Amino acid sequence: MDTQNLGKSTDSLNRLSQVVEELIKVVHEQKQNFDSAIEAEKNNTSTAQTKVAVLEAQVQSLQAEKEQLKADLSAAQNNTESENKIKELQNLADSRSEKINGLQTEVQNLNTALTNRKAQLEEAEQKNQEWAQKYAELEQKLSEMQQTITQTTDDIDSVVARLEKVLEENGASNNNN
């Protein structure tokens, strides 16, 4: 080998060494940059995972709230249905109460009419008893009058018979005279 080539080779080797060192430097810098980027990505990933965990917790909380709201809505619907049923039953109770009041008024009216009717019947019964008593008294008087008439008729017959007898006796004696 020639010295001249040896110098060139040494220069080339020096330049190659510098280039390799620069390349190592660049690779080392890129590795550091890459490590920093990876670390940043890890941090971003960790932050993202934390955010995901927080969001998942929020989703679970919201789902629990959604289920509670569903239950509350169902209960509210049941309450609404119950309130509607209660209103319907209250209306029915009010209607029946009005009917009962009407019937009570009618019963009171009927009781008043019945009381009046009883009073009329008692009055009629009393009058009937009075009439029965008057009838009995009249029958008694009639019987007495019939007896008086019969007695008077008998008395008249007796007087007539005596008169006839007297007349006969007088007539016989007048005829004799």
* 177 residues of the chain, pLDDT tens digit each: 466 677 777 777 787 778 878 878 888 888 888 888 888 888 888 887 888 889 889 989 989 988 898 888 788 777 777 888 888 889 988 999 999 999 999 999 999 998 999 999 899 899 889 888 988 888 888 888 888 888 888 888 888 888 888 888 887 655 555
User: Which amino acid is it at 44?
Assistant: N
pLDDT at 174: 56
Give how far Cα 120 sits from Cα of 35, 117, 123, 129, Å. 122, 5, 5, 14
pLDDT at 72: 84
pLDDT at 172: 61
pLDDT at 50: 85
pLDDT at 3: 64
User: Cα–Cα distance between 60 and 62 in angstroms, integer?
Assistant: 5
Give how far Cα 67 sits from Cα of 53, 62, 64, 75, 159, Å. 21, 8, 5, 12, 130
pLDDT at 112: 94
Count how many Cα atoms sit within 13 Å of the Cα of residue 73 in the half-sphere of its side chain.
Answer: 6
**C-alpha angle with apex 170: 168 to 171, nearest 5 degrees?**
60
Give how far Cα 149 sits from Cα of 136, 144, 146, 177, Å. 19, 8, 5, 40
User: Which amino acid is it at 23?
Assistant: L
Whose structure tokens read 């017959």?
157
